Structure 1
Amino acid sequence: MLFSHPQLWPGLLLSVLTGGIATLLALAMAVVVLAGLPAQRMVRGLAAAGLALPHLAFAIGFGFLIMPSGLIARLVAGGDAPPGWITVQDPWGVSLTAALALKELPFLLTAAVAALARGDAAGRLAQECRAAASLGHGAGSAWLRIVLPQLLHDLRWPLVIVFVYGATVVDMALVLGPTQPPTLAVTIWHALNDADAATNRMGLAMSSAARRGAGRREGPAERKTRCQGRVSANSVAAAPSGAARGSVSRTGLARPQRVGGG
């Protein structure tokens, strides 16, 4: 029943693609910014400004910017009527991928600056770059050959965090992501908020499977919520009907209620 959901596998593929491409784009932009702005104070200021902006507010503003009647379309296409472009909630997830890459760029910049300034890393890298310059390498070549490999090693866990967030985000995917099919996180979110008991149980099962796939154990509160949902669904399905419906006493025994006279 779980794997028969029509939006499970397309949503999973879309989530992996949007999260992975957004992570690579954010990494590429971070490398360009770090190579072009060697002053860590400027990079730290740009990153702090981006981190202060909430994800949902950024998604809404980005959507208004790229929508067919937005500023970019008016500057590019012009005219009185908006062009027939599908820029928000496009079926390929391009707008969601671009928004995720731009929003996660400040996080990667902050992690990169912290890694380059940790301990004696700054002095050691400066000495290695001077040694590379003495061998005839330019500043860009030395940065790519010396600084970048060590930086990528230090950014391995921040990159994992960016990918996991991009593949499981809900609020930005609701604003900018595709709808047919939506991402896996949005599919699970819709199933968990559905009034139908069977659909709700399927959402709980998909959420539990995604959590186990990510290597995260289920906490006591989440286990209690899942059990309560299962008990409620079973109670609704097994509830008797008619005049012979009983009431539970304090001892736990069902006492039949008599309806009508006699």
Structure 2
Amino acid sequence: MLRFVPILTIVLMIGPVSAGLIGTVLPAFGILPALGGTTPSLDPWQALFAQPGLGASIRLSFVNGLIATAISVAIVMLFCAAWQGTRIFRAMQRVLSPILSVPHATAAFGLAFLIAPSGWIVRLVAQFAGWDRPPDIAIIHDPWGMALIAGLVAKEIPFLFLMTLSALPQADTDRTAQVTATLGYGKTAGWFKATLPRVYPQIRLPVLAVLAYSTSVVDVAIILAPTTPAPLAVRILGWLSDPDLGLRFMASSAAVLQLLIVIAAMVVWIAGERIIGAMGHQWAEDGHRFRKDSAVRGASALMALVAAGAVVLGLVVLLVWSVAGFWAFPDLLPRGFSLRLWARELDAIGSSLTTTL
């Protein structure tokens, strides 16, 4: 009887996903009997490609997802290479582990309040610059999606860092570090040349999961990404939520397009792995020791600290805003505190909170 458990587990995992995929692909080609779609048609695709700003939405999803993933992987690998086995490494491990439990939307809201034109960072600068009003610049919802990239990176780094931590013992990194140090390699270069080739294959699946999330994210994109047009995943949600049920056909075709974007991003990523792997192989054999790596080590620690600090400070500013009274720019703190917002919103979201719990 137990021999059927693995098969049953696979069926329970794949079954709902397959049913959902079928329920998306068929309407994408005009088949949804409940809404009168009984014959195959390309009309949903024609309607989709006629939507204004579709190319920009695809670019935001595809390019920004790749950039966010690449930055996250680079920072994690650099930090591990530079600081593995040190007190700083252990301290960062203690800091990043709790951050992983912070919901993406919460972290995104916190980051938005932190980097907005009237956020804490600008308020701090205003104390020295003498500003009496926020600068007229688009930081949140910027047209290039830089805020979205920042929000994704801040949350992806803790996840990838913990995945890397689980892979390090299997790569015998301590002994490898001793060997490379004996051969005269700098700490960072020795890690990249000898340890990374054994660590990265073990974290490839988590990296691809991060890439899939980054190219199809909805909650963080709603908070930080451009809105005219929005990334494709956000627009799909809007079409699916529209009272006009006829848009379900077009929304389904857009969902299939989103799947193709994720697959294309993975293909590009794997191709990039091959190219970087070939270049890295030549670099590993060139004999350079790169002993002077203090600048690289300092930069990697700073980037990891900024990522962790952005989430932590974002949570702090969220808490302050939730109890803030009148808070004029450029004051660093509100002129008073009140629980009025908590009292009002708890009554309004009572049923939603119960459902969530």
TM-score range, shorter chain: 0.7 to 0.9
Q: Using the alignment, how far apart are the partners of 1:213 and 1:82 within structure 2?
A: 37
TM-score normalised to the size of structure 1?
0.74
Kindly tell me: are residues 185 and 107 of structure 1, through their superposed partners in 2, closer, same or farther at Cα, counting changes over 3 Å? same
Aligned with 1:160 (options 200, 208, 214): 208
2:230 corresponds in structure 1 to: 182
TM-score normalised to the size of structure 2?
0.55
Aligned pairs for 1:128-167 (under 5 A) are 128-167=176-215
- Preserved contact between residue 78 and residue 188 of structure 2 (Cα < 8 Å): no
- Alignment of 1:111 onto 2:163: yes
Q: Identify which range, 109-118 or 137-146, moves more after superposition.
A: 137-146
Q: Using the alignment, how far apart are the partners of 1:148 and 1:50 within structure 2?
A: 25
2:139 corresponds in structure 1 to: 87
- Preserved contact between residue 111 and residue 158 of structure 1 (Cα < 8 Å): yes
Q: Using the alignment, how far apart are the partners of 1:70 and 1:9 within structure 2?
A: 31
Kindly tell me: are residues 173 and 76 of structure 1, through their superposed partners in 2, closer, same or farther at Cα, counting changes over 3 Å? same
Poorly superposed stretches of 4+, deviation over 4 Å: 212-215
Q: Using the alignment, how far apart are the partners of 1:211 and 1:23 within structure 2?
A: 17
Q: Using the alignment, how far apart are the partners of 2:230 and 2:223 within structure 1?
A: 11
2:34 corresponds in structure 1 to: none
Kindly tell me: are residues 140 and 37 of structure 1, through their superposed partners in 2, closer, same or farther at Cα, counting changes over 3 Å? closer
- Alignment of 1:65 onto 2:114: yes
Return the structure number with greater helix share: 2
Letter of the aligned partner of 1:44 in structure 2?
Q
Q: Using the alignment, how far apart are the partners of 1:82 and 1:209 within structure 2?
A: 39
- Preserved contact between residue 141 and residue 224 of structure 2 (Cα < 8 Å): yes
Shift of 1:147: 1.5
Shift of 1:136: 2.0
Shift of 1:43: 4.3
Q: Identify which range, 138-147 or 163-172, moves more after superposition.
A: 138-147
Q: Using the alignment, how far apart are the partners of 2:204 and 2:120 within structure 1?
A: 36
For the residue of structure 1 that corresponds to 2:49, the secondary structure is: coil
- Preserved contact between residue 34 and residue 43 of structure 1 (Cα < 8 Å): no
Q: Using the alignment, how far apart are the partners of 2:143 and 2:262 within structure 1?
A: 26
Shift of 1:213: 6.3
User: What's the C-alpha RMSD, in Å, of the aligned pairs?
Assistant: 1.9
Q: Using the alignment, how far apart are the partners of 2:228 and 2:51 within structure 1?
A: 13
Letter of the aligned partner of 1:201 in structure 2?
F
1:169 corresponds in structure 2 to: 217
Larger Rg: 1
Q: Using the alignment, how far apart are the partners of 2:260 and 2:111 within structure 1?
A: 33
- Preserved contact between residue 68 and residue 149 of structure 2 (Cα < 8 Å): yes
Shift of 1:49: 1.5
For the residue of structure 2 that corresponds to 1:180, the secondary structure is: coil
1:55 corresponds in structure 2 to: 104
1:228 corresponds in structure 2 to: none
Shift of 1:28: 1.7
1:250 corresponds in structure 2 to: none
1:205 corresponds in structure 2 to: 253
Aligned pairs for 1:4-23 (under 5 A) are 4-23=50-69
Can you give the 5+ residue segments of structure 2 that lack an aligned partner in the other structure?
Answer: 1-45, 264-357
- Preserved contact between residue 56 and residue 229 of structure 2 (Cα < 8 Å): yes
- Alignment of 1:101 onto 2:153: yes
Q: Using the alignment, how far apart are the partners of 1:200 and 1:66 within structure 2?
A: 36
Q: Identify which range, 131-140 or 32-41, moves more after superposition.
A: 32-41
Q: Using the alignment, how far apart are the partners of 1:53 and 1:138 within structure 2?
A: 35
- Preserved contact between residue 116 and residue 151 of structure 1 (Cα < 8 Å): yes
Q: Using the alignment, how far apart are the partners of 1:144 and 1:206 within structure 2?
A: 40
Q: Using the alignment, how far apart are the partners of 1:182 and 1:56 within structure 2?
A: 17
Shift of 1:200: 2.9
- Preserved contact between residue 145 and residue 226 of structure 2 (Cα < 8 Å): yes
Q: Using the alignment, how far apart are the partners of 1:117 and 1:41 within structure 2?
A: 15
For the residue of structure 2 that corresponds to 1:197, the secondary structure is: coil
Q: Using the alignment, how far apart are the partners of 2:123 and 2:262 within structure 1?
A: 43
2:244 corresponds in structure 1 to: 196
